[in-house]
Amino acid sequence: MGAGMEERQPAIKVENVKKIYKLYDKPSDRFKEAFGLAKNRHKEHYALNGVSMEIMQGETVGIIGTNGSGKSTILKIITGVLNQTEGEVIVNGRISALLELGAGFNMEYNGIENVYLNGTMMGFSEKEIDAKLPEILKFADIGDYVYQPVKTYSSGMFVRLAFAVAINIEPEILIVDEALSVGDVFFQAKCYQKFEEFKKLGKTIVFVSHDLSSISKYCDRVYLLNQGQLLGDGSPKEMIDAFKRVLVGQYELPDETEQEINTVLPEGAVNPELLEYGTKQAEMTEFYITDEKNVRTTAVIKGSEFTIHVKVKFHERIVAPIFAFSFKNVKGTEITGTNSMLEKAFLEPVRKGSVKEVTFTQKMSLQGGEYLLSLGVTGYDGSDFKVYHRLYDVLNITVISDKDTVGFYDMDSKVAVREAADAEARIIPYRHEA
């Protein structure tokens, strides 16, 4: 059984931790500064700025925040994957971490070999791993794929094996960073059942998730980060409510200055490796997303209304331009999208030099998680299809959810359960006819 609250000691203590990255405009600036040829050619970016946390033994603690808030960074520092720039981190207990798919696995080895590799890295003997292997394979439930190189696994199979290893090496502290969102709903349920077992055994769990319903259900406490700053900690309900205020720029710092924090999010996490092509007869010059309160954001609350904004400049006359968007998941599967022709919204010629502002407004029905937005301007020149400008995977959009259903999107079902009109309705048993 877990120790009583009065007997608990800190499992993880984070004191005034800062993580600073030096950003350079060009590689030559980095070179000049490194060799003393120039000074102060960099800008400092605070991935974490004076963050302190104390997580007690036996607690299940969630960390929430928008993209770029520092969630993954603090987990990597706690687990030793990254070093902090300033501050102190103290960990009491054996940590098992599931941070990124592929971390700690050799992609050329098969599943069994990777189990032994990870177990050995954690300090277990071959005999001890032999004893744990049946339980690991049972939990992973990937069949004969355990004998195949893990580079051939789907992301779902990979996370099954990685999580099975992580929870069966007797950790005192389990750290999970969003990886469970890869598995199917039944595997996720099995993982959360394991969380319950861990809680009863007095073990410590720290996890990051965009699934606010899981944060609410399983966490004793929650920390809220934003843009590298710790905004506060408290009950799941308190912090989830605060998070929703952050998303619409209405959260205030709970200190004596009552200074309102700058929560206007960047226009978008623009992909530096996006695929761009087209004739450029029409060109998208600006694009961003706003929430239902018209605040620019890269995070949208599931069930709320949001708008995609695109500004298009026309360098040539175009008879009937078509404006389009689509969403993919992180695996590259196209989930949904539409265009102005399908919506019968705009079927007019546009003159050279014109600038159009295009908006798509809709309710967010996708499940919680990460998505990639693609944009396009196309059209027909006679019978020939023309691509004037396309931007693939241009923005990373986070959907924040407190209820995820099965599959890609939520049908927003209304459920009712009531007494049947004929409560004494006779049940006819099934008979097998020989």
180, pLDDT greater than 50: yes
115 belongs to a structural domain: no
Higher pLDDT, 115 or 424: 115
| Residues 342-392 pLDDT 10s | 999 998 999 999 999 999 999 999 998 889 999 999 999 888 899 999 999
Give Cα separations from 70 to 51, 240, 347 (angstroms). 10, 17, 45
Q: Which amino acid is at 327?
A: F
- Whether residue 312 sits in one domain with residue 376: yes
234 belongs to a structural domain: yes
301 belongs to a structural domain: yes
- Whether residue 219 sits in one domain with residue 185: yes
Closest CA to 12 of 181, 207, 169, 166: 207
Query: Can you name the residues that pair with 175 across neighbouring β-strands?
Result: 97, 206
- Whether residue 237 sits in one domain with residue 349: no
DSSP tag of 170: -
Confidence category of residue 51, pLDDT binned at 50, 70, 90: very high
On whether the CB atoms of residues 278 and 313 are closer than 8 A, the answer is: no
- Whether residue 391 sits in one domain with residue 279: yes
pLDDT for 2 equals 46
Dig out the tokens for 431 from the structure.
Answer: 């008979």
- Give CA–CA dist 82/48, Å, rounded: 12
Confidence category of residue 44, pLDDT binned at 50, 70, 90: confident
- Whether residue 83 sits in one domain with residue 205: yes
pLDDT for 145 equals 92
Confidence category of residue 259, pLDDT binned at 50, 70, 90: very low
Average pLDDT over residues 200-221: 86
Average pLDDT over residues 154-174: 85
pLDDT for 255 equals 46
- Whether residue 242 sits in one domain with residue 273: no
Least confident stretch, 168-177, 304-313, 335-344, 388-397: 168-177
406 belongs to a structural domain: no
Average pLDDT over residues 243-270: 52
- Whichever domain contains 385, its CATH number is 2.70.50.60
- Give CA–CA dist 238/233, Å, rounded: 8
25 belongs to a structural domain: yes
153 belongs to a structural domain: no
pLDDT for 407 equals 85
- Give CA–CA dist 120/16, Å, rounded: 33
- Whichever domain contains 203, its CATH number is 3.40.50.300
On whether the CB atoms of residues 358 and 310 are closer than 8 A, the answer is: yes
On whether the CB atoms of residues 167 and 194 are closer than 8 A, the answer is: yes
380 belongs to a structural domain: yes
254, pLDDT greater than 60: no
434, pLDDT greater than 70: no
- Whether residue 86 sits in one domain with residue 224: yes
- Whether residue 183 sits in one domain with residue 331: no
pLDDT for 376 equals 96
pLDDT for 262 equals 34
Count: domains in the chain: 2
Top mean pLDDT of 4-18, 220-234, 269-283 is at: 220-234
pLDDT for 258 equals 35
Tokens 């893990």 belong to 150
Average pLDDT over residues 72-85: 92
Confidence category of residue 246, pLDDT binned at 50, 70, 90: confident
- Whether residue 89 sits in one domain with residue 178: yes
Dig out the tokens for 96 from the structure.
Answer: 């098992």
- Whether residue 184 sits in one domain with residue 61: yes
On whether the CB atoms of residues 282 and 315 are closer than 8 A, the answer is: yes
Q: Which amino acid is at 353?
A: G
Which domain does 57 fall in, by range?
5-93+172-247
- Give CA–CA dist 61/372, Å, rounded: 29
432, pLDDT greater than 60: no
Q: What is the number of residues in the chain?
A: 434
18, pLDDT greater than 90: yes
Question: Mean pLDDT for the chain?
Answer: 84
Confidence category of residue 269, pLDDT binned at 50, 70, 90: low
Least confident stretch, 220-224, 337-341, 406-410: 406-410
Confidence category of residue 270, pLDDT binned at 50, 70, 90: low
206, pLDDT greater than 80: yes
114 belongs to a structural domain: no
- Whether residue 189 sits in one domain with residue 70: yes
Distance between start and end Cα atoms, the chain: 54
- Whether residue 183 sits in one domain with residue 297: no
Do the strands 60-64 and 95-98 form a parallel or antiparallel pair, or are they unpaired? unpaired
Percentage of residues in the chain having pLDDT higher than 90: 44
